């Protein structure tokens, strides 16, 4: 069953492969951080039973409290930026991708205001999605051979 453009656009929140991989890795890391100290304390004379009955519940509660704190921060951030519409952002990206062609970014780097003169330009993207200037937007659209009014899509 083919999805319509609107159905695809409204699924901006859907988990993708990378999200699931990151979640599994984080859970594994948290479990390892809870279990490893119990094994490290055995050689110094602290019984495994004591570690399991006294330390692990504390570690688990700490991870739970930390997760609740991060969830509260995420909800506050969502409420703070309630005017943003990520579904619109995704639908614009899908429309532009459908209308254009993939291009190599290297030839554009010196001409884009966002990356001109920056050797480590990829570092900018470590902090999330960035706004780009209208000139950069039009330059990328032209390189992708997108015809028509690109400003209309944005």
Higher local confidence (pLDDT), 130 or 42: 42
Compute the average pLDDT of residues 92-116. 77
pLDDT at 114: 86
Judge whether residue 134 has pLDDT over 80. Answer: yes
Judge whether residue 22 has pLDDT over 70. Answer: yes
Return the axis-axis angle of helices 56-80 and 17-41, rounded to nearest 10°.
150
Point out the domain boundary residue: 57, 80, 103. Answer: 80
Point out the domain boundary residue: 32, 62, 80. Answer: 80
pTM of the predicted protein model: 0.39
Q: Do 31 and 59 sit in the same domain of this protein? A: yes
pLDDT, the chain, mean: 76
Point out the domain boundary residue: 47, 80, 113. Answer: 80
In a domain, 6, yes or no: no
Q: Do 94 and 75 sit in the same domain of this protein? A: no
In a domain, 2, yes or no: no
Q: Do 75 and 110 sit in the same domain of this protein? A: no
pLDDT at 153: 47
CA distance 78 to 80: 5
Higher local confidence (pLDDT), 54 or 86: 54
Total domain count, the chain = 2
- Tell me which residue range forms the domain holding 116: 86-153
How many C-beta atoms lie closer than 10 Å to residue 5's C-beta?
11
pLDDT at 110: 87
CA distance 72 to 1: 37
pLDDT in tens, 33-47: 888 888 899 999 999
In a domain, 8, yes or no: no
Q: Do 129 and 143 sit in the same domain of this protein? A: yes
């Amino acid at each position: 069953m083919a999805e319509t453009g609107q159905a695809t656009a409204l699924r901006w929140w859907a988990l993708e492969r990378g999200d699931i991989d990151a979640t599994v890795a984080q859970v594994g890391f948290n479990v390892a951080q809870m279990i490893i100290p119990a094994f490290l304390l055995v050689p110094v004379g602290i019984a495994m039973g004591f570690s399991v009955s006294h330390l692990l519940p504390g570690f688990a509660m700490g991870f739970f409290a930390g997760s609740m704190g991060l969830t509260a921060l995420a909800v506050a951030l969502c409420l703070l930026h309630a005017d943003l519409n990520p579904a619109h952002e995704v639908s614009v990206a899908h429309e532009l991708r459908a209308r254009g062609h993939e291009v190599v970014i290297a030839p554009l780097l010196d001409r884009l205001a966002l990356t001109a003169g920056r050797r480590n330009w990829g570092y900018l993207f470590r902090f999330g999605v960035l706004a780009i200037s209208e000139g950069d937007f039009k330059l990328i659209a032209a390189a992708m051979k997108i015809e028509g009014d690109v400003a209309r899509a944005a």
